């Protein structure tokens, strides 16, 4: 069974329609009357209290705002002081950096000086060792009588290393060339200059130096 929409009939056409103009007028009248509520003495006191409370709240908000302004000013001053402190700390850090650089440079110079001292000590120690070795070698060579007996070779006065072309025996000294003799003289602290004297004089000087006096 199907339901059909109700068609408007004569009964519905006779219903009373709303009067919008009348309703609007009544709302305006209601609003006007409500605005006059403050004129009632009993309500006026309550409104005054409300206004007073609002005024008190406003005053408190003003005081809070003033205190916040003061706090903001103090914070600005604190921020300025912190900026000054930060600047001083930056200056101190720069000075410490400079001091650290100076200390580092100073230690580097000390290290260089110590290294030089160590090198000098090593050189001195090497020369002392060579001097001691050559002293005992020359004494040992003085004990040799035979010209064909092996000689104790002397060392270079600076490096303490064996001297090249050093004669193996006393007789071998006679076979050394002038250049070889000069090379041996350069390796030993010999009083006679290398560029002076003939070969015979150099051989004699070398024999006395190395202890091979017996020919």
Q: What is the pLDDT of residue 38?
A: 63
Q: For the residues 11-15, what does the mean pLDDT come to?
A: 65
Q: What's the pLDDT score for residue 12?
A: 58
Q: Which domain holds residue 192?
A: 119-210
| Residue 193 lies inside a defined structural domain of this protein | yes
Tell me the pLDDT tens digit for each residue of 166-186: 999 999 999 999 999 999 999
Provide the terminal-to-terminal Cα distance of the chain, rounded to the nearest Å.
162
Phi/psi region, residue 153 (left: phi>0; alpha: psi -120 to 50; beta: rest), is beta
pLDDT tier at 35 (50, 70, 90 boundaries)? low
Judge residue 151's burial from the number of C-beta atoms within 10 Å of its C-beta, 0-12 exposed, 13-18 middle, 19 or more buried.
Answer: buried
User: Residue 157's pLDDT is what?
Assistant: 92
For residue 8, the model assigns a pLDDT of 55
Does a structural domain hold residue 206? Answer: yes
Within-domain flag for 20: no
Residue 9 lies in a domain: no
**Structural domain includes residue 153:** yes
Segment 39-52, tens digit of pLDDT: 776 666 666 777 77
In a domain, 174, yes or no: yes
pLDDT for 172 equals: 93
Q: What is the pLDDT of residues 110-153, one digit of tens each?
A: 889 888 898 888 889 998 999 999 999 989 999 887 888 899 99
What domain count does the chain have?
Answer: 1
- Any residues with CB less than 8 A from the CB of 148 and at least 6 apart, and which? 169, 170, 171
Sort 32 into a burial class: Cβ within 10 Å, 0-12 / 13-18 / 19+. exposed
pLDDT value of position 190 = 66
Model confidence over 46-103: pLDDT tens digits?
667 777 777 888 888 888 888 888 888 988 998 999 999 899 999 999 998 998 898 8
The answer as to whether 15 is a domain residue is no
210 compared with 195, residue with greater pLDDT = 210
* Residue 87: per-residue pLDDT: 92
**pTM attached to this predicted model:** 0.51
137, 127, 129, 132: which is closest to 211 by C-alpha? Answer: 137
Residue 30 has pLDDT above 60, yes or no: yes
What is the per-residue pLDDT for 48? 72
Task: Give a yes or no: residue 197 inside a domain.
Answer: yes
Give the pLDDT confidence score for residue 60 in this predicted structure: 84
């Amino acid at each position: 069974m199907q339901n059909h929409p109700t068609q408007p009939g004569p009964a519905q056409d006779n219903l009373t329609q709303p009067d919008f103009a009348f309703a609007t007028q009544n709302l305006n009248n209601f609003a006007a009357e409500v605005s006059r509520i403050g004129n009632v003495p009993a309500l006026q006191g309550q409104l005054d209290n409300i206004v007073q409370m609002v005024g008190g709240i406003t005053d408190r908000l003003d005081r809070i705002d003033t205190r916040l302004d003061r706090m903001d000013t103090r914070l600005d001053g604190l921020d300025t002081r912190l900026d000054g402190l930060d600047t001083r700390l930056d200056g101190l850090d720069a000075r410490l950096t400079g001091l650290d650089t100076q200390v580092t440079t100073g230690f580097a110079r000390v290290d260089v000086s110590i290294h030089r001292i160590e090198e000098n000590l090593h050189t001195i120690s090497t020369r002392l060792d060579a001097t001691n070795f050559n002293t005992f070698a020359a004494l040992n060579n003085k004990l040799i009588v035979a010209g064909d007996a092996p000689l104790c070779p002397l060392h270079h006065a600076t490096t303490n290393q064996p001297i090249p072309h050093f004669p193996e025996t006393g007789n071998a000294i006679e076979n050394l060339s002038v250049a070889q003799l000069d090379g041996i003289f350069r390796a030993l602290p010999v009083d006679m200059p290398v560029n002076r004297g003939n070969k015979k004089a150099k051989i004699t000087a070398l024999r006395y130096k190395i202890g091979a006096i017996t020919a």
